[in-house]
Structure 1
Amino acid sequence: MKSKKHLFKEIEPDQIGEQLYDLLAQQLAPEIKLSRNEFNYLYMFLITQGYLGEQVQTTTAKAFPTVVTLSNQFMRSILSENVLVNTQLINGDALWQQLLCIHLQLTSFYIEPTTFIRPKQMHFFADLYPAFDLTVNRMLVTLQRQSTFHLTKNMAVNLYFSYMFALVNAIPPELMRDQVHICVDFSQGALYTNYVIESLNSFSHAHIVIDRQLREETDIYISDFQSPEIVQPQIIWQDPPTSSDWSHLADVILQTKHNKLHELFPDHKPLMKDGGSHEES
C-alpha cells in the first residue's frame, strides 16, 4: 500500500476543490499561508468521509488500485458464494460504489471508530443475514492475512457492519437463497389475512417472501387452523398474535434461514479470528 504522504500528493483538486482552496485562503489571517500539501491533506479527508458527496468520493476511489482491487475482490466473492438466486438482478452499481467508499476510507483516512465496535452487536446481523455473514467474514479473514493491513479488533468489527449495511442496501430479499417463504391463510377472510401480511412486512429486512397460496417453496404456513395435509411447519394463531407469538415466529424464521444456509454450506462456521468473534463481548 502506498504511504499516506504519497497518497495525498496524488490528489488533484477539481473545480470544487479549487474553489474551496480559494475560500479557505481568503478566510485565514494574512500571516497564515495555506500550503498545497496542507490543503490536499484536508481535501482528501473531506472526500474520504463523504463530505463532498458520493460522486466525488467514488471518482476519487477509482484512482487508487488497492481500493479497486479490494472492491473487485468483494464483488467476486458475493457473486460466487452461491448465496444469490440470480446474480444478474443484483444492484451491482450501488454495491460497487459503497464498497469503493468503504475501501477508500480503509486505505487512506481511516478514523478509529468508537461505535459499532462490539462483537456482541454482530449477533443480530449474523442471525438475520447468515448468508451475508458468511461472505463478510471471509472477506475480513482475507484482509487479516494480507501483510499490508493490520486490522485491530475494533476495525474488523466496524468493517463487518460497513460491509453488512452495503449488502443489505444493495441486494433485495428475492435474490437470496436463504429467503423464507411464508404463506398466510386465515379462515377469518382476506381482511384479517392482509392485516397479518402487513404486520409481516415489518420483517421485510429478514429476507421474507409472502406467498398468497401454499406453494412448493413455502417454508412456513400461518393460519388459525392446523391442517394435517400440510407438511411445512405451521404457526397457528386462533387469536390476534401476541408479542410472544411474534417472537416465536421470529425464532422459526431465523432457524429456517440457518437451515437453508447449512444445506448450501454444511461446513460453514463464523470465520472471524484475531479481529473479533461472535462469541466475544
Structure 2
Amino acid sequence: MYLKESYLFHFLEDSLVHPVTVRQFSKRYFISMSRAYELKSELESFLGLYHLEFKDGQIIGDEFSIRKLLFNIYYHFFNMIEAPVFEEEIKIDSKKMVNFVISYFNLKLTPTGEVKLKLFFEINYFRMKNNHQIEFYSSYDVIGDSEKIKHFNEACQIFINGVIKQPKLVSKKETQNLILFLGIENLIDSDFNSSQNKCVKSMADTFMDKVSKMYLETDQISDDLRGQLIQKMHTELIKINSRYLIHANYMTTQTEITFDTKYQTFHRCVTDFLFTNVETNHIQNEFQNFNQLYLEYMLLLINSIPLNYISRTIHVCVDISEGDLYNDYVIKMLTLQGESAIKFEKRLSSQTDVYISDVVMSHLKCRQILLGKLPEDQDWQILKAQILEQ
C-alpha cells in the first residue's frame, strides 16, 4: 500500500493527466514547498531512467517510454496488492476490446496473460483519452488470412475512432501498436522476419551469424535441423530486439542472474556481442534494461542449443604427489559436482587439456591448476569452473 500513499507516486500520476506545478501539488496534498521541490527532484531522477523529463508541470518524452513506465508501475506494484484504478468508462471499454481480441483470435490466455492484455488496453486508452499519441508506426505483418487481418485492422480502427474519438491516422498507429504487442507477447503468430527496422534486423542477423559459426557448424546436427534452428532463433531474436530497440517492451522485471558454469561459453558470446554492437550501432540510450536484454539472449541460447553441440570432452589429468588415494578423492569430488564433458585420467597423454597437481611442471604445454592443499567443501565448484574455463 506504500505506493498508493507515496507523494512521489501522486506527483507522477497527477502530471500524467494534467500539468501540475510544484505550488499546485504542494497545496493539493498539504505539504511544504520545500518538500514539494524535493519530490520534483526525485521525480526527475526517476524519469531519467526512462529517458523522460519533467517540464512545465508534465512528463515529456517518447510516448512508448511513458506507456512502458505506466505499465511497469501498475503491473509490478499494484498487481501485488490490487488492480490499478482507472475511470469506469476506461475499464468498461477496455474490457470490451479485450473480449473482442480474445474472441477474434480465439486466444487461450493464462491468468497473467489476461491481466497484461487488459492493462495494456487501459493504459493506452487512458493516454489516448488525454490526447497523448504514439509516433511509432509498426511495419510488422501478421501471418494468416489477409482478409481476416484486414478486418481486424478495420475493426480496431473503428473502435478507437468511434469510442475514443481519435483521428484515422492515430487509430491506425494505435492498431499497429496493438498488433505489435500481441505478436511480441506471443499471443498471435507474427511474421517478425518482415521487420523493416534496420537496427532490429541487423542485430538479429549479426548475432545469428556469430551463433551459427560458434555452435551450429558441427557434424552433430543435420542441415535441415540447422536451418530450422536458425530460422526459429532468428524470429525470436527479432521479437527480443523489438521489445528493447523500439521501446515496445512492457515487461522489465528480472534482475541480474548468474548462470551455471557450463553456460560460460554462452555468457561470453552474449556479453561480447551486446557490448560490441551497442557501441557500434550507437544505441546505448535505446537499452533501458541491459540486464534484461542479456537475460533473454542467454535464455534463447540455453533453450535452443543442446549442450552436446557446444561442449567437447576435456581431458583432465589428476596427479597429486601423495598418490592414488588423493587422486581418487579429487576425481570423486569433482564428479559429484554434476555432469559435464570431463574425462579424468591419472596419466598425461597427448590429449590432456588440464593438469591438476600440487607441483608445478614447467615443461608441460597443457593448462595447469595448482592445488596447494585439498579443497574445502565449498571450493569444489570453483575448481570445476576453473577446469571448464576455455
Kindly tell me the number of residue pairs found equivalent between the two proteins: 212
Give the counterpart letter for 1:41 in structure 2.
Answer: N
2:192 is aligned to 60
Q: Give the Cα–Cα distance (whole angstroms) in 2 for the partners of residues 249 and 161 of structure 1.
A: 26
What is the Cα deviation at residue 217 of structure 1? 7.5
2:303 is aligned to 169
> Cα distance 1:28–1:160, how it changes in 2: closer, same or farther (>3 A)?
closer
Q: Given the alignment of the two structures, is residue 99 of structure 1 paired with residue 237 of structure 2, yes or no?
A: yes
What is the Cα deviation at residue 117 of structure 1? 3.2
Q: Give the Cα–Cα distance (whole angstroms) in 2 for the partners of residues 169 and 106 of structure 1.
A: 20
Give the counterpart letter for 2:237 in structure 1.
Answer: L
Q: Given the alignment of the two structures, is residue 139 of structure 1 paired with residue 277 of structure 2, yes or no?
A: no
Pick from 184, 194, 206: which aligns with 1:48?
184
Q: Deviations over 1:115-149 (max 9, x none)?
A: 2233xx2xx22744221111111111121342245
What is the Cα deviation at residue 168 of structure 1? 0.9
Give the counterpart letter for 1:7 in structure 2.
Answer: Y
Kindly name which structure, 1 or 2, has the bigger radius of gyration based on alpha carbons.
2
- Using CA pairs under 8 Å that are at least 6 residues apart, name the structure with larger relative contact order, 1 or 2: 1
- 1:222-233 alignment, distance < 5 Å: none
1:237 is aligned to none
Q: Give the Cα–Cα distance (whole angstroms) in 2 for the partners of residues 92 and 44 of structure 1.
A: 22
> Cα distance 1:93–1:125, how it changes in 2: closer, same or farther (>3 A)?
same
TM-score by length of 2: 0.42
Q: Given the alignment of the two structures, is residue 5 of structure 1 paired with residue 135 of structure 2, yes or no?
A: yes
> Cα distance 1:85–1:76, how it changes in 2: closer, same or farther (>3 A)?
closer
- Percent of paired sites with the same residue: 16
Q: Give the Cα–Cα distance (whole angstroms) in 2 for the partners of residues 132 and 22 of structure 1.
A: 44
> Cα distance 1:86–1:254, how it changes in 2: closer, same or farther (>3 A)?
farther
- 1:201-216 alignment, distance < 5 Å: 203=338, 208-209=340-341
Aligned 8 A contact 2:270 2:294 in 1: yes
Give the counterpart letter for 2:205 in structure 1.
Answer: N
- 1:88-127 alignment, distance < 5 Å: 89=221, 91-111=229-249, 113-118=251-256, 121=257, 124-125=258-259, 127=261
Gaps of 5+ in 1: 183-196, 221-231, 234-243, 261-281
SS at match of 2:302: helix
2:386 is aligned to 255
> Cα distance 1:219–1:179, how it changes in 2: closer, same or farther (>3 A)?
same
Q: Deviations over 1:3-52 (max 9, x none)?
A: 983532x3456645345446657878965457333212222222223221
SS at match of 2:186: coil
Pick from 180, 189, 209: which aligns with 1:76?
209
Aligned 8 A contact 1:211 1:218 in 2: no
1:150 is aligned to 285
RMSD value, Cα: 4.7
Q: Give the Cα–Cα distance (whole angstroms) in 2 for the partners of residues 31 and 96 of structure 1.
A: 38
- 1:182-201 alignment, distance < 5 Å: none
Q: Give the Cα–Cα distance (whole angstroms) in 1 for the partners of residues 173 and 245 of structure 2.
A: 19
